[in-house]
Chain A
């Protein structure tokens, strides 16, 4: 071994020279590692508590923000540094076995605390009373199942799930295919404009669409675009979001979500369509296939995976749709959905038992999706 390489890799050299070192504990490293982790955790905890209880001592919120970023990011980095030092200080065989857990467990612990533990706790609370202090058996389930509002919400959710993901995928494919036929600049501009709503919050989008669905009394000039068009064509202005006939109001709210999500579908589908090998299309064209036949018989089978991905992602989003309904109708006029019903039970009515029972219903609805995701992942790993 030359000196140059041994300089570059002193640790390796140490191991080569002294095989016993691998087996020994390095108490200094272990001690510094543990001490470092404790000090960092203590300091961060206190800093964040100080932000919470004495915000005025920091002058402005910007100072807090900057300190939080430095503390949060630097703290997390330092925590991993000392954790790594601790593990490296252990005898080598132990350390090799430990290090993967040192990397995985901090993240996994947070997921466990924020999602896995609450899942079980929510199921637990759904059998308890309104402030989770005593068990009351299935009473919450009996209450919500006997409530018409619950079944209306379920019906609306089903309608949202049937309509929104399908239309997002269909429009996404149409936009992706047509944009592909534009010039490079045209494609870029058109896609950016359609993608843009993805940056807008559900609340912001509801405010934006409020200007379209707005209603003024007949005779006044209409400030809502939809009513202006209707009146312009000789019709009567309508209070759009109050019309539950044929679920019109729910459908108009779905339009908002579709407007937000088509860009997401388009981006994924467009990249899938661009990935379809040109020669398969060329071959079909030589065989005399029409453009429509090429689309259905050649392109669609090859982008099937992406279509499913977009569909499932939007499906999951729709299942939890809340903000749009909450800020527009808050569930009145027969437009309620499960997530909004849940929020009102939890927040407005303080019925924790019934609220958690509603979440359990939602949870049961996603079980097939969990199964699907895992199967999909296993297929992908195997393929």
Chain B
């Protein structure tokens, strides 16, 4: 039997189709289960698996009360705002600092340049756990006294995100044509002007890629948020972790809370996936 061809002329591969459908289903089923459970009533969820609702959608009591309960009753509304207030600055501020540093590492020559850059590469691998006890002291009551506030977490995420950001942006900037930078210099542009008018706009793909990664990382972080934020300022991930610890009572709220916590990263992810993939693969994350 002749193998059928696809529109672009390549032969269709039944084995690939079957395997990929199975894998895609396996990868999707857990999340679908969460989504369905979050709209089921408490009794339903406690007495039958979520798939029964899928096979019998009309016989299921669909409800949004879990979402109402978790949003107001468990303070997910306030935690949701906290997450936004933390994640947005913690994404943008490191980029400001890292972009200037990456520019210098790419287009300037200066003593100690190589040592500085090797330092950045070395700390890419250092586990952030090393920072916790010293930073609890430094930011805490014995030091600056800002532990618990948003600012402490912004600072930490800025510092922890910086090595990867410098590294990614520098790798990307080194692919930009040097002639453009040199002609700007001949036209009398200072480095500062060259940075703002040429290099920063041209580096947008890599900046967008890092911004997506950093946003996901900050939004999804549990460790830093748990250690350095007071409970008023807790993020959705911390709220969800607390909910995970409760058994019995409030179990039905868990799935709704989990869905609230993953909806924003999913939206960011889907809208910026293009940039992220391009940035990750265009040599931005190599090594």
- Residues in A with CB closer than 8 Å to B266 are 196, 199-200
Minimum CB distance partner of A63 in chain B: B85
Given contacts A200-B265, A203-B222, contact A320 B129 (CB under 8 A): yes
Hey, what's the 0/1 contact readout for A357-371 against B, CB within 8 Å counting as 1?
Answer: 001001100100110
Contact assessment for A366 and B127 in the assembled complex, using a CB-CB cutoff below 8 Å: yes
Q: How many residues of A contact B (CB 8 A)?
A: 120
B128 touches A (CB below 8 Å): yes
Interface residues of A in 306-342 (CB under 8 A from B): 309, 312-313, 316, 319-320, 322-323, 326-327, 339, 342
Q: Which of B85, B92, B148 has the most CB of A within 10 A?
A: B85
A106 touches B (CB below 8 Å): yes
- Residues in A with CB closer than 8 Å to B258 are 204, 207-208
Give the contacting residue for A366; candidates B125, B166, B220, B281; CB below 8 A: B125
A12 to B189, CA, bound (A): 9
B130 touches A (CB below 8 Å): yes
Contact assessment for B269 and A8 in the assembled complex, using a CB-CB cutoff below 8 Å: no
A369 to B273, CA, bound (A): 29
Hey, what's the 0/1 contact readout for B137-155 against A, CB within 8 Å counting as 1?
Answer: 1000000001011110011
Interface residues of B in 180-197 (CB under 8 A from A): 187-188, 190-192, 195
Contact assessment for B125 and A370 in the assembled complex, using a CB-CB cutoff below 8 Å: yes
Closest chain B CB from A354 CB (angstroms): 11
Contact assessment for A84 and B89 in the assembled complex, using a CB-CB cutoff below 8 Å: no
Contact assessment for A103 and B93 in the assembled complex, using a CB-CB cutoff below 8 Å: no
Closest chain A CB from B231 CB (angstroms): 14
Q: Which of A107, A225, A267, A323 has the most CB of B within 10 A?
A: A107
B202 touches A (CB below 8 Å): no
Given contacts A72-B92, A268-B281, A359-B127, contact A122 B97 (CB under 8 A): no
Closest chain B CB from A321 CB (angstroms): 11
Contact assessment for B113 and A100 in the assembled complex, using a CB-CB cutoff below 8 Å: yes
B60 touches A (CB below 8 Å): no
The interface residues of chain A, by DSSP majority, are classed as helix
Interface residues of B in 251-283 (CB under 8 A from A): 254-255, 257-258, 261-262, 265-266, 268-270, 273, 277, 280-281
- Residues in B with CB closer than 8 Å to A380 are 286-287
A22 to B104, CA, bound (A): 22
Give the contacting residue for B129; candidates A194, A200, A212, A362; CB below 8 A: A362
Given contacts A100-B110, A211-B33, A343-B223, contact A119 B130 (CB under 8 A): yes
Contact assessment for A373 and B125 in the assembled complex, using a CB-CB cutoff below 8 Å: yes
A134 to B119, CA, bound (A): 31
Contact assessment for B150 and A363 in the assembled complex, using a CB-CB cutoff below 8 Å: no
A236 touches B (CB below 8 Å): no
Given contacts A101-B104, A103-B100, A221-B49, 7 further A-B contacts (CB under 8 A): A48-B151, A65-B84, A103-B108, A116-B119, A118-B135, A268-B280, A362-B127
On A, residues with C-beta under 8 Å from B are 8-12, 48-49, 51-52, 60-62, 64-65, 68-69, 72-73, 76-77, 80-81, 84, 88, 97, 99-101, 103-104, 106-108, 110-111, 113-119, 121-122, 125, 132, 174-175, 178-179, 181-184, 186, 189-190, 192-204, 206-212, 220-225, 228, 259, 262-263, 267-268, 271, 305, 309, 312-313, 316, 319-320, 322-323, 326-327, 339, 342-343, 346-347, 352, 355-356, 359, 362-363, 366, 369-370, 373-374, 376-377, 380
29 pairs across A/B with beta carbons < 8 Å? A8-B188, A51-B150, A52-B146, A62-B85, A65-B85, A80-B96, A103-B100, A103-B191, A104-B110, A108-B120, A114-B158, A114-B159, A115-B123, A116-B123, A118-B133, A122-B134, A203-B237, A210-B254, A211-B255, A220-B47, A223-B47, A225-B51, A316-B125, A323-B222, A347-B226, A356-B133, A363-B126, A363-B130, A366-B126
